[in-house]
Amino acid sequence: MEEIIESVKDPKMRSQIEKVVGFHGYLSTGAFVGLQMFNLAKRVLKVSDGDRLFATCETYNCLPDAFQALAGCTVGNKSLRIKDHGKMAVTINKRAPVGEKIKGIRIVLDPAKTRRYPKLHAWYMKTEKVPHPEVVTILLDAGESVYTYEILDLVVPEKPAKRIVICDDCKESFVQKVRETICPACSEEIENDLEECPVE
């Protein structure tokens, strides 16, 4: 993988790869896909240094780490959401005031386009085990040609007010979402107990 990083002539991309590797632990294909999606979104949305971004990744696997390393999008600062649809896709937008309409972009690694690169497509469709260095090299050559994107009109949602209550069951505090009186952990435990009960 070192050879691949050294072969990258663009110093900005090389720096980005180093940041992603430092955060993710190694240059996985999914993390590199995230890096390319990040750069595509920056270009299309005309993102400047200092612009705060929000990302919704459609997989937990590798992809979100590029947005954490490069854009500072994290679950903790509420600028990273993960909807695990199992897709190599992300929606990105810049920060805007509540209620305001803003342009966003949804980017997907497009299987119709990866077909042009048999080894990349085999990795993507899991029909063949292809090593990360080989796939990353293909992605470097393919650039943005393997992605499809659409521009979205998004409305920045209002933040729901936090209401902290004490769980009727475990007596610990939790953030109430609706009007539930039992925390999610206890509710989950009750559901698991019900599933394990034998039916007579």
How confident is the model over 132-187, as pLDDT tens digits? 999 999 999 999 999 999 999 998 877 778 899 999 999 999 999 888 999 999 98
Average pLDDT over residues 25-30: 94
Q: Where are the domains of the chain?
A: 2-155, 163-196
123: tokens are: 């990795």
* pTM of the full structure: 0.84
DSSP secondary structure string, 98-124?
Answer: TT-EEEEEEEEE-HHHHTTSHHHHHHH
Q: What is the band of 3 on the pLDDT scale with cuts at 50, 70, 90?
A: confident
pLDDT band at 90 (very low <50, low <70, confident <90, very high): very high
Q: What class has domain 2-155?
A: alpha beta
Report the alpha-carbon angle 96-102-108, nearest 5.
Answer: 115
